Amino acid sequence: MIKLIDLHKSFGDKTITKGLDLTVEDGEFLAIIGRSGEGKSVLLKQMIGLIQPDSGSVIIDEQDITKLRGKERQTIFHKCGYVFQFAALLDSLNVLENVGITLLEDSTEIENVKPLVVEKLKNVGLAEDVLDKFPDELSGGMKKRVGLARTLMLSPKILIYDEPTTGLDPITVRLIHELIKKTHDEQKLTSIVISHDVEIFKYASHVAMLHEGKIVYKGPAKTIWECDNPYIYQFIRGLPEGPIKQIGFV
C-alpha cells in the first residue's frame, strides 16, 4: 500500500534521507525507531507530501504522490492522516473548533460539524465537556487525544503518528498506545508510529529502524528482543558499543 523508493532529501548541504526504501503493507502497524535528529519526522512528512523529496518515489495506493500538485495534493490527507509530534493545536481555538476546522468550508457553521466532532472525541475517550476548553486548559495526554480526534475527522485509511507519547507519564503512555491500537483495529487502518518508547513493540506488528538516512532493518515486532541485527540490538538496549556512533549528540 505504501512504497518508498530510493528517497533522497537534503536541506542545504545536509543530507537527511539517503536513498531510503521501505514498503508498508495494508493493515500493518509499523513502529519506526531511530535516534533524535536522524530524520524520522522528515521521513513522515515526505510520506504525506508535506516535504517534497529531491528524488525518489512515494507510492500510496499505486499513485506516486510526489507527482501531485496543488489541490490534488490535498487529497492525500483524506487517505493519510498525520498526527503531529506536538499535537499542533491552535491556542486561540477551543476543542470544538480545533477538531471541527478540518471539515469547515467558509460557509459552514461550526455547529454543523459538532455531532461528528463529538463522535470523534468519543472515539479517543474524551467527553463532550471538553468541547469549549482551550488547549492551555488541557493536559498533555488530552492534547494528544484531541490531535488524534482532529485527524480522524477525515476518516483516513492510513494513520501516521509522530512521537505520540513523548513527554507523557508511563500510565498515560500505555493509555495512548492502547488507543492507537484500538483505533488501528476498529477502523482497519494501516498505522505508522514513530516512537522512542520500547513499549510500542507490544502493540506494533512490525519495527523499522532509520539510521543515516536509510532503513537499516525491518522485521516483526513480536520477536524484536531476540533480533540480532546489530543496529536494533544496540538501539533498543541503549548500548554504548555497536555500529551506531555517539558523536554529535549528548
Q: Which residues bind Mg ion (CB under 5 A)?
A: 40-41
> Cβ of residue 37: shortest distance to Mg ion, in angstroms?
8
Q: Which is nearer to ligand ATP, 21 or 25 (CB)?
A: 21
Among 20, 22, 33, 40, binds ligand ATP (CB under 6 A): 40
CB 120 within 8 A of CB 128: no
Q: Which is nearer to ligand ATP, 166 or 172 (CB)?
A: 166
Give the strand order in the sheet containing 158-162: 80-83, 158-162, 190-194, 29-33, 206-211, 214-220
Site map (CB under 6 A) of ligand ATP, residues 6-25, x = contact: -----x----x---------
Q: Which is nearer to Mg ion, 40 or 145 (CB)?
A: 40
Among 8, 18, 27, 41, binds ligand ATP (CB under 6 A): 41
- Written as nine digits, the cell of 99 is 477538531
> What kind and span of H or E run contains 35?
none
Radius of gyration, CA atoms only, the chain: 18
Q: Which part of the chain contacts ligand ATP (CB under 6 A), choosing from 38-46, 103-111, 197-205, 216-224?
A: 38-46
Q: Which is nearer to ligand ATP, 14 or 69 (CB)?
A: 14
DSSP state letters, 95-138: HHHHHHGGG--TT--HHHHHHHHHHHHHHTT--GGGTT--GGGS
